[in-house]
């Protein structure tokens, strides 16, 4: 789980959702645009919530890995939605935000910490 800090608030979400969110924020910065997104997350009281964010070129999102236990969230749906939005804004966005890895590099398809 990642802790996401945004606009004086914090929430937690699945690793894949957090990384898809930061990639989409990167795409929006490239195309100088903004969007409102809804993602599943966990509030600081441990309750599952729908989180609404406006993200764009000036967004200051901080994410940090945590040791929190995994919480069941609709990950695939959220990641697919964020990836679809990124492709609509910037069709060549494949690989953007992949921690500097070349999309042709097989390591580019793994998440940080995976081999």
- Residue 40, beta-bridge partner list: 50
Its domain, for residue 14, covers 2-109
Mean pLDDT over 7-16 rounds to: 93
- Distances from the Cα of 56 to the Cα of 32, 35, 44, 88, 107, angstroms: 7, 6, 24, 15, 28
Give per-residue pLDDT as tens, 48-99.
Answer: 999 999 998 888 899 999 999 889 999 999 999 999 999 898 877 565 555 4
E strand intervals along 47-97: 48-55, 62-65
Per the prediction, the chain carries an average pLDDT of: 83
Question: How many domains is the chain built from?
Answer: 1
DSSP H/E element including 10: strand 9-13
> Does some domain include residue 33?
yes
Mean pLDDT over 10-24 rounds to: 94
> Does some domain include residue 114?
no
> Does some domain include residue 115?
no
């Amino acid at each position: 789980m990642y802790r996401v800090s945004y606009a004086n608030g914090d929430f937690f979400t699945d690793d894949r959702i957090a990384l898809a969110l930061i990639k989409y924020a990167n795409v929006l910065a490239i195309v100088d645009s903004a969007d409102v997104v809804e993602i599943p997350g966990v509030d600081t009281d441990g309750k599952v919530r729908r989180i609404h964010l406006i993200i764009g070129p000036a967004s200051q999102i901080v994410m940090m890995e945590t040791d929190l236990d995994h919480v069941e969230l609709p990950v695939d749906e959220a990641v697919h939605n964020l990836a679809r939005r990124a492709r609509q804004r910037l069709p060549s966005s494949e690989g953007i935000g992949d921690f500097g890895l070349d999309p042709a590099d097989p390591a580019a398809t793994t998440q940080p910490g995976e081999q």
